[in-house]
Structures are given as structure tokens and as C-alpha cells.
Structure 1
Amino acid sequence: MRITILGGTGFTGTNLVREAAARGHDVTSYSRSTPAEPVDGLRYETGSLLDDAVRRRAVTNADVVISALSPRGELEGELRGIDARLAELAGEEGVRLGVIGGFSGLRPAPGAPRFAEGDDVPPQFAAEAREMTEVLEDLLASAPADLDWFFVSPGAAYGAYVPGEATGRYRIGGEVALLDADGQSAISGADFALAVIDEVEKHEHRRAHISVAY
């Protein structure tokens, strides 16, 4: 498939492009700069996702677009609008849209408020958690009717600070956080990418919020 990864040089994006390229997909990465160590066989495009021409170019001719963007730097306070526009463009083009969110978009129990809606998110991450959750809520409430989308939340312990190791295993859940027998929620970068590209290939969830953890 023709897979476009937005934010393809970040922690999540790098793992995604590596996994997708290793499976023989036609992969294009969009980011503000090229990586110091590019992955063989990828196309790297640079540009700001604040530019609508860049957004349109990223969606055109793709089968699947995955937004692995974070509301940081120039995208702080802008990501909700960017992902809404990507949803609009993807709907027009018949392109499947995947959005990578955060753990805070999940719920501790069925019907409970999302973690981002509570007071337990550390202050330094609260604004980012709320913005990513707003992206999810927009998809649930107002995504174009013909848009095939999925939103993926990783476990709580996930990111460049805990990259983990590739184990080749993971569990898929819904919007309630997945915990292991010790009450922990975690996933490595490699195994999260494995789960996301498996979803791209298997197409098991449509217009759904899913979670990935051990």
C-alpha cells in the first residue's frame, strides 16, 4: 500500500516508517526536516503541516495517511485544526486516516471520564493531552460520514524515554485502558508500530478508537 506518515521522523513516526517499509509498502514521510539517519527505501518530504498545500499533497495519491503529529512547537494549539482538515481531505480522496493519540484519551473504566478530563495528568502534559483528546472527540462527533478512520492510543509507559524492545506481541483493546496482571500499562515503540501497521493491513477497525499495550 501507499502509506504516508505525518511526523515520520519523531519517535512514533520513525518506528512506523521502519515497520511499514520492512513489509514492502510504498512509504512517504512528512516532517519539518530530514532525519540524520534516513531509512532506506523511503521518500522524505519536508514542509509545515500548517500549510494546506502540504496537507493536500500528503493525502493525494495515498491509500492510508497516519498522523503521528504532536501538539508541540509550532503545532501547539494547532493540531486539532490540522487533523480536522486532514479528515476532510482524506474523506474527499477516499483515503483511510489513522491518528496516533496518547494514553490520556483512554478511560479507566467503561463510561468513566477520559484520563485527560481528570486532574491526574501532570501539568506539563495537560494541555497536550487535552488537545489530542479533542482530536479524538472531533473524529467521533463530526468526521465526514464516508471517512474510514482509526485512532490509536498506546499504553501509559510509551515514548522515547522508555523505547523498550521488540517482542513481537501486543494486545488490542478499545477505549478502556489495557492493564497487565500487575496493573501496569506499557508498550514498546517497535511493538506499537507492529500493531498499527497490522491494523493498516488487516483493516479490522473502522471509525473506532483502539488501544495497544501488553
Structure 2
Amino acid sequence: MSRIVIFGGTGYTGGNIAREAVSRGHQVVAYSRNAPAEPTSGVEYRVGSLADAEVVASAAEGADAVVVAVQAHDVDGAPLVQRIGAVVDAAVAAGARLGVVGGAGSLHVSEDGPRLVDTPEFMDEWKPEALAHADVLESLRADAGKADWFYVSPAALYGSFAPGETTGEYRTGGDVLVTAEDGTSEISGTDYALAFVDELEQRNHVNQRFTVAH
């Protein structure tokens, strides 16, 4: 059993990861700015912000893994890329692995193709979040191995607006969007969480970004 601390543990993705981890017998502590309306049995909830370096350092103590599952363009007044350094430092000090819930926008549509966020079809209102997530990924890659991290990009169609179905299966890729034969790219919240917790347990992508899709 591992002790897993999740920042954003009451949100859509963080909540799914918390439920999946608890179902496997892990000890889960979820941090958020507000107490959950519908808590998950077995999850310990604490109020605290990722923007508070003291909270982050305290939360990481004794943790086997620290998970960041928050929106990237605004974390209490600053983009996540300006907050992630304190999380990296806390994880390194605690000897914990760092797992980051990323975005799909920084994935390439093909080996030689543009990033998804740079295609004409990508909606303008999604770009600030997508680009903020891309900045976090670049920050981790520039870290030169200081932290033990991984970053998981979902499929193109992902989120609470499209929860999808639980299949218990997923496919993985690297920096290129994973698509079905008909060109679609989607993953349910529950199967994304399945892949995320599998990575926490199996360590298949050390200091790497990977993506998951049905």
C-alpha cells in the first residue's frame, strides 16, 4: 500500500484517481480549496492550496506519490508552471514520485504533424489551458532528472462534459495522439484514472509523458 497525496482530489480527474487508488487499497489524502460535496469513502480530505508552498511541503512528507490534478492556467492567481517548482522540491525532499495530470493539446496529431493545440480545429477558448499544461510539461522535461515524475495526457475528447464509458482497458502512446480507426480520440474519466494508478504502481514511464485513449 502506498500513501498518495492528490492536489485537486475533489475535481473530475483527481476524484476519479482517488477512487481508483482507494479501491486498490492505497492510502489517499486529497487536498482542495473546499471540502467535497460528495466525499469518497476511504479518502482523507484536507483543505489547502497548491499555491501555498508550506502546505505542499507538509503534504508531501511521508508520501510515496504526489499527484497534481488541477487546472493549469490559474492556480490561485498564477499559472501552474509557476507553482510546479515548489511541488518538485517537496516531492524530491520527501522521496516521493510526482504524477501530473496533463492536457491533450501538446500532443502531436502525427509523427511529423503539428501539436493538437496548433491545428485550426482547436477551439480558441481551450487554448489558454492547453498552452499552460504544455508549459508544465516543458518545465518538467527541463528538470534534468531532479525529480521522479510522469505526466499523463488524455485523449482529445476527455472531461466531465464527456465522461464516456468504463471499459477497464486503454491504449498508450508517447507524444502522438492515440486515435481509433475512425480517427476519433477519447478516454473515459474512469479509464484515465485506471491508467494513471497503473503507472503509480508499475513505473513504466519514468520522467516521461505518455498518453492514453480507448
Indicate the TM-score class for this superposition, using the shorter chain for normalisation. over 0.9
Q: Is the 8 A contact 1:88 1:144 kept in 2?
A: no
Q: How far apart are residue 116 of structure 1 and its match?
A: 3.0
2: distance between equivalents of 1:117 and 1:88?
32
Cα deviation for residue 61 of structure 1 reads 1.0
Q: Distance in 1 between matches of 2:86 and 2:112?
A: 29
Letter of the 2:17 partner, please give it.
L
Aligned AA for 2:160? Answer: A
**Matched-pair contact (CA < 8 Å) for 2:145–2:207:** no
Closer, same or farther in 2 for the Cα pair 1:146/1:54, shift >3 Å?
Answer: same
Change (3 A) 1:112 1:57: farther
Could you tell me how far 1:144 is from its partner in structure 2?
A: 5.3
**TM-score of the aligned structures, taking structure 2 as reference length:** 0.94
Deviations 1:62-117 (A, max 9, x none): 10111001035554642111122211221232210010111102111225443234
Shift, 1:125, TM fit: 1.3
Residues 84 and 135, structure 1, Cα contact 8 Å, conserved in 2: no
**Aligned partner of residue 85 in structure 2, secondary structure:** helix
Q: What residue number does 2:200 align with?
A: 200
Partner secondary structure for residue 83 of structure 2: helix
Match of 1:164, SS?
coil
Note the residue ranges of structure 2 that are not aligned, 5 or more in a row: none
Instruction: Structure 1: state its 5+ residue gaps.
Output: none
Aligned positions, number: 213
| CA distance in 2: counterparts of 1:30 and 1:79, whole angstroms | 16
Larger displacement relative to structure 2 (74-83 or 164-173):
74-83
1:154 equivalent in structure 2: 154
- For residues 128 and 198 of structure 2, the distance between their equivalents in structure 1, rounded to whole angstroms, comes to 30
Say if 2:50 is the partner of 1:46: no
Mapped partners of 1:116, 1:136: distance in 2: 14
Secondary structure of the structure 1 residue equivalent to 2:210 = strand
TM-score normalized with structure 1 length: 0.94
**What amino acid is aligned across from residue 185 of structure 1 in structure 2?**
S
Superposed CA RMSD in Å reads 1.6
Amino acid paired to 1:64:
A
Change (3 A) 1:55 1:111: farther
Residue 9 of structure 1 is matched in structure 2 by: 10
Aligned partner of 1:137 in structure 2 is: 138
What does 1:79-158 align with in structure 2 at a 5 Å threshold? 79-141=80-142, 143=143, 145-158=145-158
| Corresponding residue for residue 181 of structure 1 | 181
The range that moved more, 127-136 or 87-96, is 87-96
**Alpha-carbon spacing, 1:105–1:75, altered in 2? closer, same or farther (3 Å):** farther
Q: Is residue 91–residue 144 contact of structure 1 (8 Å, CA) maintained in 2?
A: no
Corresponding residue number in structure 1 for 2:31: 30
Say which structure is richer in helix. 1
Structure 2 partner of 1:170: 170
Q: Distance in 1 between matches of 2:121 and 2:104?
A: 12
Q: How far off is 1:127 after superposition?
A: 1.0
